[in-house]
Amino acid sequence: MNTRSILPVVACALLLALPALGQAVPEVEEVDTDALVTVDDLTEPMAEDSPATRAVADAEAAAALLRAALSQLAEAVSADDQVVALTEVIRGYELGLSALREGLRQAHARELELRGRFEAQRSQLAQVLGAMTALQQSPESTMLLHPAGAVANARSAMILSDVTPGLRAQAEALQGDLDEIATVRELQASAAAMLGSGLASVQEARRLLASAAGDRSSMVTRYEGEPEELQSLREAADSLDAFASGIARMEKDVGAPMEDFEGAQGSLRLPAVGTILRPYNEPDAAGVPRPGWVIATAPAALVQTPWPATIRYRGPFLDYGNVMIVEPSRGYLMIFAGMAQVFGEVGDVLQAGDPVGLMGGAEAPAQEFGAQFVSDAVRGGAAGRTESLYLELRRGNETLDPADWFVLNPFVEPQQD
């Protein structure tokens, strides 16, 4: 890489660092040779295991998960148990979406890091650019650049010739960083295009799931019907706590425990992909502490039971939207509240991973969905996750901290400050 080929690289880096294009390049009066040859202080060359490379690789793997999930839709429609097959398709899509979101967030964080580095070294970049510009001038023009005349200009040229190897190394490092930024931008563009084209498929999968769940004939049932006692309890209860406590007191033969629920403490999977907005007993916006977790989810997110359980209640309750209360073991209740749709009937026996409902909310139109997703991903936190699922675990009349029972895996994120 000669001096002439170095120039556009440094110029591009300088444009990234400068807030405006009209800033003047400093005169080449004194060249800080120490700054020019200290390559490591300026940038690090792009490596195979650079942060951006790793983030892009993770995002590409997530995109492959998404494509694989969507490709299984046709098989799911013709499966013997459509509910199980469609649930797997939607779950796979949402896991891939969450992994892609994290990959995009990390890639964007790397881009911000590089831009911050360029900004911090703006004066160095401008000095290097000015120095290399001077090297490429004809002798007649170069004499006019330095106010001290030809002697000072010649001195500058001699210094620059001594530090050309340093300039070359700096330019190569800059090129690596610029390549990283370009890779991140390409990833964002390709992700947006893929998500927009796949949105219709997952929406169709959700529609088919809702239909299949309503027609499911293979569901095991412990008991049938909604007793009058439950209806009366719902009408009389003025809080979710009172309602759940009343259900706990109702004697129902739900049979022997299907699995050792207490032995699963600390290993349960959360019911939906999302971000923990409020932990146990943290006050909500109205200042009321909630003895459960609030999970921010994407619109229309799938909600699943993490453990085999019997449905004790399903339907609307107060201002919670649709509520599902299941009994995973005698004396325990698990509550999911805030859904737009719920599946199953009171007395049905659910297997671990069975769908209990879908969240509400509307996704952006297909032509906007991909770009909106990328924008939300780089913002991080709960951006784009507009729906709130409330999760509560109870033993008798006592509420339990979900943190002692559930696992925060890579697809369920804690709230970021």
- How high is the pLDDT of residue 36? 36
Same domain, 98 and 241: no
- How high is the pLDDT of residue 321? 94
pLDDT bucket at 285, cuts 50 / 70 / 90:
confident
8 close to 138: Cβ distance less than 8 angstroms: no
- How high is the pLDDT of residue 335? 98
Same domain, 246 and 202: no
Least confident of 142-156, 208-222, 292-306, 331-345: 142-156
Same domain, 114 and 19: yes
Last residue of a domain, one of 145, 180, 214: 214
> Is a pLDDT exceeding 60 seen at residue 18?
no
Q: How many structural domains compose the chain?
A: 2
Is residue 223 in some structural domain?
Answer: no
State the Cα–Cα distance between residues 352 and 269, nearest whole angstrom: 10
- How high is the pLDDT of residue 105? 86
User: What share of the chain has pLDDT > 70, as a percent?
Assistant: 70
Is residue 350 in some structural domain?
Answer: yes
Q: What is the pTM of this model?
A: 0.76
> Is a pLDDT exceeding 90 seen at residue 305?
yes
Same domain, 326 and 405: yes
Same domain, 119 and 210: yes
Mean predicted confidence (pLDDT) in 315-324: 95
Same domain, 263 and 365: yes
More confident residue, 145 or 63: 63
Mean predicted confidence (pLDDT) in 102-107: 84
Is residue 219 in some structural domain?
Answer: no
Same domain, 270 and 135: no
Same domain, 252 and 103: no
Two tokens at 396?
Answer: 């008798």
More confident residue, 75 or 121: 75
Q: At what angle do helices 122-135 and 164-214 cross, to 10 degrees?
A: 130
How far apart, in Å, are the Cα atoms of 27 and each of 24, 126, 127, 128, 288? 9, 10, 8, 11, 63
Is residue 246 in some structural domain?
Answer: yes
Q: What is the mean pLDDT of the chain?
A: 78
Match 């409902």 to its residue by tokens: 357
Q: What is the CATH number of the domain that holds 253?
A: 2.70.70.10
pLDDT bucket at 59, cuts 50 / 70 / 90:
confident
- How high is the pLDDT of residue 193? 83
- How high is the pLDDT of residue 323? 98
pLDDT tens for each residue of 30-54: 434 343 333 344 344 444 566 667 7
Is residue 220 in some structural domain?
Answer: no
Mean predicted confidence (pLDDT) in 327-346: 95
Least confident of 157-171, 227-241, 244-258, 395-409: 157-171
Same domain, 195 and 142: yes
Is residue 221 in some structural domain?
Answer: no
- How high is the pLDDT of residue 175? 73
More confident residue, 63 or 143: 63
**What domain range is 361 assigned to?**
228-414
Least confident of 164-178, 201-215, 255-269, 293-307: 164-178
Same domain, 123 and 36: yes
> Is a pLDDT exceeding 50 seen at residue 26?
no
Same domain, 54 and 179: yes
Is residue 353 in some structural domain?
Answer: yes
Last residue of a domain, one of 190, 214, 238: 214
> Is a pLDDT exceeding 60 seen at residue 60?
yes
Classify residue 304 as exposed, middle or buried by CB count within 10 Å of its CB (0-12, 13-18, 19+): buried
Last residue of a domain, one of 158, 184, 214: 214
* Rg from Cα positions in the chain: 30
- How high is the pLDDT of residue 5? 53
pLDDT tens for each residue of 187-240: 788 888 888 888 888 999 999 999 998 777 666 666 665 678 888 999 999 999
- How high is the pLDDT of residue 27? 41
Mean predicted confidence (pLDDT) in 163-176: 68
Same domain, 46 and 184: yes
- How high is the pLDDT of residue 163? 56
